[in-house]
């Protein structure tokens, strides 16, 4: 891995990850001061979940023109968040973070008395970072070579390891939002890394389910899910180290899970062969997704990794990609049942979507071979 660390003008950290060794001198010429990054965590005692309040994010950059993009490289007469004329992959602290500073809370839920309900607050904690996949403003992750996606994987793994050892983070979520339909406010190909100071609600539920399954059957729930799906009709693509499938319980019109065949808990544990094979398979899946509809697929794709506080539990690293696109001209909006009660209704049978994805991926491979 070829990493160069530096500091931006307002004190935020920045890290360059290059495909090949490169000499870099990092100097941010901008005259900027630290943004008001204060955030607060407030506890919902009914759902036992933390909610972040980050008012400074109201002022973040929103859909700038290409010439004003803050994620493109700096150039003559124009200084951006990236103080270099080019880069391969770069990661830096978000100027408008949802989580910032403070110590990790782990998986412990607050103990409180009735008169303390309005005081269930905690100073902002955790960390938010931006990951730029390429200096090219007009491309997408799916169009990058597998070797560049591999560099992105190395960056994700490196930042995961660093954040988990920082003392302020319990769980790391590396993810990409793609498409205005999803809510993207910067078109430049990029993702984010959230270092949560607590175990997220989704992960906490998975850990509880895995623990109950282990107690009941003596088996690993994640291993059982993988084996069941590998033998079924919902496999989308696979190789020596990974299997991608549409789960039988898919909530979203398009939903794909990628599981490593080896039982690892986080990205840093993946070896070189697993990272290489993921990069190749993931690119095929992203390109197949873009063939499903008349326009490129809007999606959220993110890594589920084990929290620090869950060291002695069953958990397996996996990636979840999902899209709200359900037809060429239709989106799935979270309506009453989903938003109000958390009960999802999927309009497309998972088996049907798996078949469509397999066909899209296969047709792409045939075009590439032609």
**For residue 350, what is the enclosing H or E element?**
helix 350-369
Write down the pTM of the prediction. Answer: 0.94
- Residue 270: which residues within 8 A CB-CB, separation 6 or more? 153, 157, 260, 264, 278, 317
- Residue 44: which residues within 8 A CB-CB, separation 6 or more? 50, 51
Distance CA 39, CA 56 (A): 8
Distance CA 295, CA 297 (A): 6
Domains 2-199 and 202-369 share a fold: yes
Once rounded to an integer, what is the mean pLDDT over residues 151-162?
A: 98
Quick: pLDDT tens for 34-88: 766 578 899 999 999 999 998 877 767 777 888 899 999 999 989 999 999 999 9
User: Residue ranges of the domains in the chain?
Assistant: 2-199, 202-369
- Residue 35: which residues within 8 A CB-CB, separation 6 or more? 10, 56, 95, 96
The fold of 2-199 is HIT family, subunit A (3.30.428)
Q: What are phi and psi of 342, to 5 degrees?
A: 75, 20
Quick: pLDDT tens for 217-232: 999 999 999 999 999 9
190 is catalytic: yes
Compute the C-alpha angle 284/285/288, nearest 5°.
85
3-class DSSP assignment, residue 205: helix
The fold of 202-369 is HIT family, subunit A (3.30.428)
Q: What's 278's DSSP letter?
A: H
Q: Where are the beta strands (DSSP E) in the chain?
A: 2-7, 13-18, 40-44, 49-53, 89-93, 121-123, 127-132, 171-178, 190-196, 235-238, 242-245, 254-260, 299-304, 318-323, 325-327, 330-331
Q: Is the pLDDT of residue 171 over 80?
A: yes
Set 187, 188, 190, 318: catalytic member: 190
């Amino acid at each position: 891995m070829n990493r160069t660390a530096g500091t931006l003008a307002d004190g935020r950290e920045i890290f360059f990850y290059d495909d090949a060794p490169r000499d870099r001198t990092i100097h941010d010429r901008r005259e900027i001061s630290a943004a008001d990054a204060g955030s607060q965590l407030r506890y919902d005692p009914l759902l036992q979940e933390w909610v972040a309040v980050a008012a400074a994010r109201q002022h973040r950059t929103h859909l700038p023109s290409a010439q004003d993009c803050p994620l493109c490289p700096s150039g003559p007469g124009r200084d951006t968040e990236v103080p270099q004329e080019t880069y391969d992959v770069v990661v830096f602290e978000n100027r408008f973070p949802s989580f910032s500073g403070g110590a990790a809370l782990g998986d412990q839920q607050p103990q409180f008395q009735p008169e303390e309900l309005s005081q269930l607050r905690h100073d902002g904690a955790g960390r938010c970072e931006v990951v730029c996949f390429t200096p090219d403003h007009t491309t997408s992750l799916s169009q990058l070579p597998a070797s560049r996606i591999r560099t992105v994987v190395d960056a994700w793994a490196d930042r995961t390891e660093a954040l988990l050892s920082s003392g302020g983070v319990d769980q790391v979520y590396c993810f990409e939002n793609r498409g205005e339909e999803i809510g993207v406010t910067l078109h430049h190909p990029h993702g984010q890394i959230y270092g949560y100071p607590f175990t997220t609600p989704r992960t906490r539920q998975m850990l509880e389910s895995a623990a109950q399954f282990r107690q009941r059957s003596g088996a690993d729930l994640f291993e059982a899910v993988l084996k069941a799906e590998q033998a079924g009709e919902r496999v989308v693509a696979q190789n020596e180290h990974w299997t991608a499938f549409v789960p039988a319980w898919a909530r979203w019109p398009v939903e794909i899970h990628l599981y490593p065949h080896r039982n690892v808990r986080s990205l840093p544990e993946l070896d070189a062969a697993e990272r290489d094979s993921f990069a190749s398979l993931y690119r095929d899946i992203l390109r197949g997704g873009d063939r499903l509809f008349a326009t490129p697929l809007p999606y959220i794709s993110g890594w589920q990794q084990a929290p620090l506080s869950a060291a002695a539990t069953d958990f397996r690293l996996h990636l979840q990609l999902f899209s709200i696109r359900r037809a060429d001209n239709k989106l799935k909006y979270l309506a009453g049942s989903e938003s109000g009660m958390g009960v999802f209704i999927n309009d497309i049978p998972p088996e049907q979507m798996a078949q469509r994805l397999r066909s899209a991926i296969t047709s792409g491979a045939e075009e590439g071979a032609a």
